[in-house]
Homo-oligomer: A and B are copies of this chain.
């Protein structure tokens, strides 16, 4: 259960109180505000604040005095131009703040994105909840035989059952011992900053994460990618659904020029140019390694 009844009440309270502002308002983002979008078994992503909208990108690019919007169509053209030509600074003029609940091993990948602001729930100061990520059967995958850094087939039958039993039992036992070590009932009670070291990496933590739109899109590009680990991709996918409602023009440009774009090496450009002239090109003759060639053929046949 990602959110308790009391937490839901706090969220509903916030959604019930609207105020007036002179700032730019993004109606698509207001609809998401505070709502917890469930991710994995106990996690969530929710927007807790934002700054700017599509027009704010153009306003900054033009260093405008007023709204800076000429027309929606004109603005979209500018945004697509900026994205295509890697003019990243206008996208930095929008900002979003998220509250995320996520397993520690996902948090460890996430934090590698350094250009962001973070406040994490402190396990030195507070006691963590008994909530662990246990994969759904369809995400319990074997090691990939081709990719040292990925997963392959879904585990089957008894092996899957054994794994789930181990994950569940170890999580519960670790947490029982965490509580036993902390307890001040008839004993001194271990410091929280020490007791936490017994908890496995699938325990849930929480943080506030604030980031500008340029860096958010960079995060989504890497983490909503099929090569990203499924568990972080689940968060990135949920965030894509939010961002598309917040800044539809910027997200559309991002999809066309980044997510669904293809980067061709100098060698790949040459091969395609030869193919367009009717030549047949083989790997040996392409200047690409076997692995590169395989990746190339996945797109171009």
A34 B22 Cβ-Cβ under 8 A: yes
Would A265 and B84 count as touching, CB distance under 8 A? yes
Shortest C-beta distance, A100 to chain B (Å), equals 10
Contacting residues, chain B, for A291 (C-beta < 8 A): 81
Residue-wise interface mask of A (85-97) relative to B, using a CB-CB cutoff of 8 A (1 in contact, 0 not): 1100110110101
- Contacting residues, chain B, for A261 (C-beta < 8 A): 263-266, 268-269
Q: Which residues 61-86 of A sit at the B interface, judged by CB distance below 8 A?
A: 61, 63-67, 77, 80-81, 84-86
Contacts of A268 in B (CB 8 A): 261
A245 beta carbon closer than 8 Å to chain B: no
Q: How far is the CB of A267 from chain B (nearest CB, A)?
A: 6
Residue A256 is within 8 A (CB to CB) of chain B in the complex: yes
> Do the beta carbons of A63 and B208 come within 8 Å of each other?
yes
Q: Map CB proximity to B onto A244-276 as digits: 1 under 8 Å, 0 otherwise.
A: 000000000001110011111111110011011
Contact of A257 among B30, B222, B265 (CB under 8 A): B265
Give chain B nearest CB distance to A73 CB in angstroms: 11
* A159 cross-chain contacts in B, Cβ below 8 A: 187-188
A192 touches B (CB below 8 Å): yes
Number of interface residues of A (CB under 8 A): 136
B148 touches A194 (CB 8 A): no
Residues of B within 8 A of A256 (CB): 265-267
Which residues from 120 to 173 on chain A have a C-beta closer than 8 Å to any C-beta of chain B?
Answer: 120-122, 124-125, 133, 135, 140-144, 148-153, 155-156, 159, 162-163, 166-167, 170, 173
A61 lies within 8 A of B119 (CB): yes
Contacts of A33 in B (CB 8 A): 22-23
> Whole-angstrom distance from the CB of A114 to the nearest CB of chain B?
4
How far, in angstroms, from A48 to B108 measured CA to CA in the complex? 24
Chain B residues with CB under 8 A of A92: 117, 210
Report whether B197 and A199 are in contact in the complex, using a CB–CB cutoff of 8 Å.
Answer: no
Q: Which residue of B lies closest to A264 (CB)?
A: B262
Contact A14 B67 (CB under 8 A): yes
A105 at interface by CB-CB < 8 Å: yes
Cα distance, A129 to B299, chains bound together (Å): 39
| In the assembled complex, A212 has its CB within 8 A of some CB on chain B | yes
Chain B residues whose C-beta falls within 8 Å of the C-beta of A265 in the assembled complex: 84, 256-257, 260-261
The 7 closest A-B pairs by CB, nearest first: A10-B66, A260-B266, A92-B117, A151-B191, A142-B188, A197-B202, A114-B114
